[in-house]
Homo-oligomer: A and B are copies of this chain.
Amino acid sequence: MSKSITVAVDAMGGDYAPKEIVKGAVLAIQDKEDINVILVGKEEVIQSELGGYDYDKERIRIVNAEEVISNNEAPVMAIRRKKNSSIVVALNLVKNGEADAFVSAGSTGAVLAGGQLIVGRIEGVERPPLAPLIPTISGVSLLIDCGANVDARPSHLVQFAKMGSIYMENVIGIKNPRVAIVNIGAEEEKGNQLVKETFPLLKEIPDINFIGSIEARDIPYGHADVIVCEAFVGNVILKLYEGLGSALIEKIKEGLMSTTRSKIGALLSKPALKKTLKAFDQSRYGGAPMLGLKGLVVKTHGNSKSNEIRNSILQCVTFTEQKIKEKIEVNLKKQE
């Protein structure tokens, strides 16, 4: 039997904390045997939420943290000042080896800043990217980087390509994942300064499957498995994905509800429609890992409900079992 894995979970972060976070933790330990959870946050609040569930008390424990970092606080400042916040306390559990991973639906900025400041980067990693999975028509792709560090350099993007490949191959199970760089045309000479400088570097890396540029219109069609870009562009892609998806579905619902005839039609087609649209549901894939850190830090959507929290916790098991951290370490050393 494999060694059990301990995940620290920010019980206070996200729009539906602590209720949905606690529920997600309970679901996760019921789903998988070799996993333990530490819920970090206000003890009495968490205790009272847990009271509603029948669960194995040896596998969920609480670590008290009286403070909460909100989305409006300046991230680095908040991490430095709120030593007793759920994010800082949980990240210290990872740093000290009491937990293997940390999952939070709280402030993205604070989680990213805390990941770097407290858990720390693997030696050789210049910048740890945030890499969410995005749904495509044929499966999922890794969008790397969507973090808070904008104005990246070519060497950062090269590392993103390597780390992203390792993740997609070992966690998602895509052999020889296709790596592409986001560009405004397919030709090598197209692009801004950053892309033009990065393109030839990516071509020269021996152990990634670099397929060239990807235009944004081909991203939803799954033309690449690892989509490399700097964080500003990544953030625009990620958020437009969310916004346009929900706006279109809203429009479609409005259309289906507009006449009596279409209402009957909607009733009949609903089950089939639901099934296909589920493939485009981001919550299925859990959170976005921050790659290149000495421990695993996973950021889930601020509006995560129990299902996404559960998936994010379960994702930590594959990540740890597949020794992603160690593989990144070896890969970056090799090419120094």
A residues at B contact (CB < 8 Å): 74, 136-137, 148, 150-151, 182, 184, 189, 191-193, 195, 215-221, 231-233, 235-245, 247-252, 254-256, 258-259, 261-262, 264-277, 279-280
For the complex formed by this chain, how many copies does it contain in all? 2
CA distance A195 to B216 in the complex (A): 21
CA distance A276 to B232 in the complex (A): 32
Which of A136, A137, A243 has the most C-beta atoms of chain B within 10 angstroms of its own C-beta? Answer: A243
CA distance A238 to B74 in the complex (A): 31
User: Dominant SS at the A interface?
Assistant: helix
Chain B contacts for A267, CB-based, 8 A: 265
- Chain B minimum-CB-distance residue to A232: B192
Which of A189, A269, A277 has the most C-beta atoms of chain B within 10 angstroms of its own C-beta? Answer: A269
CA distance A252 to B192 in the complex (A): 35
CA distance A266 to B192 in the complex (A): 44
- Chain B minimum-CB-distance residue to A217: B243
Q: Is the CB of A221 within 8 A of B236?
A: no
Give the 3 A-B CB pairs with smallest separation, nearest first.
A265-B268, A265-B269, A255-B276
Q: Is the CB of A137 within 8 A of B235?
A: no
Assess A272 versus B259: contact at CB under 8 Å? Given A184-B235, A243-B221, A265-B266.
yes
CA distance A274 to B236 in the complex (A): 28
CA distance A250 to B136 in the complex (A): 12
Chain B contacts for A255, CB-based, 8 A: 269, 272-277
Q: Is the CB of A236 within 8 A of B182?
A: yes
Chain B contacts for A254, CB-based, 8 A: 276
Determine how close the nearest CB of chain B comes to the CB of A136; give it in whole angstroms: 8
